[in-house]
Amino acid sequence: MQTFSFFIHSAKSSTPFLSMVVASDWPRLRMLAERALADSDDRLAVEVRRDDRLVFSLDKNGVSWRAEHL
């Protein structure tokens, strides 16, 4: 199991909300990021980080950016 940080961007705030998540594999991590994004209509994007390094980002359009180093 690994611990990840979700930085959740919202239309209501200029500062992202931080949430810590534990996931056992990449499909579960992606599913948790999708759920975090879908929790509110105000949420715009989720940055998924491990050890302060970007793993991937996901936005409301379903677009995902994967970090170059992975």
Per-residue pLDDT tens digits for 14-69: 999 999 999 999 899 999 999 999 999 999 999 999 998 999 999 988 777 776 55
- Yes or no: say if 10 and 19 are a contact pair by the CB < 8 Å rule: no
Q: Residue 67: what pLDDT?
A: 61
- pTM over the 0.75 mark: yes
pLDDT band at residue 9, thresholds of 50, 70 and 90? very high
Residue 10 has pLDDT above 80, yes or no: yes
Alpha carbons 19 and 5: distance in angstroms, whole number: 6
Domain boundaries, the chain: 2-66
Which of 58, 55, 36 lies closest to 45, judged by CA? 58
Q: Residue 61: what pLDDT?
A: 83
